[in-house]
Amino acid sequence: MYENLTVLGMARKALDWVAQRQEVLSENIANADSPGYIPSDLKELNFKNVLHTVAQPAVLPTKTDPNHIVPQLQDPNEVVSEKKAYESSPDGNAVILEEQMDKLGTSKATYDQVTALFQKNISLLRLAITGH
């Protein structure tokens, strides 16, 4: 029942994004000494896209003719490589720990904002249902 509420659905998707991003960033940090390792990250969370995916059911293209081309749908949590040519050590590792820790801090801030929004909406629902 509650997953049909747009704000709670957006909060769930944002928390899923934060959890997946934390996995990717922790993998980058764990491989900071691995030769040739290229760090990756998720695409930035775009609340406009999250709102559209929560508010509207997904419409998938169908191939009705053998000559039609079916477009590739993009994953909103797509992992992208982020190596820049000038940011690698002599062994080819491109992980910059300070940058990864900064991204973890940003993810923590996003998590805090989303959980505060979630808690506020739950308290408003409780107030609407019980009257106090």
* pTM tops 0.95: no
* Overall average pLDDT of the 96-105 stretch: 93
CA dist 110 and 14 (Å) reads 8
CA dist 31 and 83 (Å) reads 14
Given a cut of 60, is residue 56 above it in pLDDT? Answer: no
Among 98, 104, 102, 82, which Cα is nearest to 22's? Answer: 104
Given a cut of 70, is residue 8 above it in pLDDT? Answer: yes
Q: Which pair of structure tokens corresponds to residue 44?
A: 């930035």
Q: Would you place residue 48 in the very low, low, confident or very high pLDDT band (cuts 50, 70, 90)?
A: low
Question: How many other CB atoms are there within 10 angstroms of residue 99's CB atom?
Answer: 15
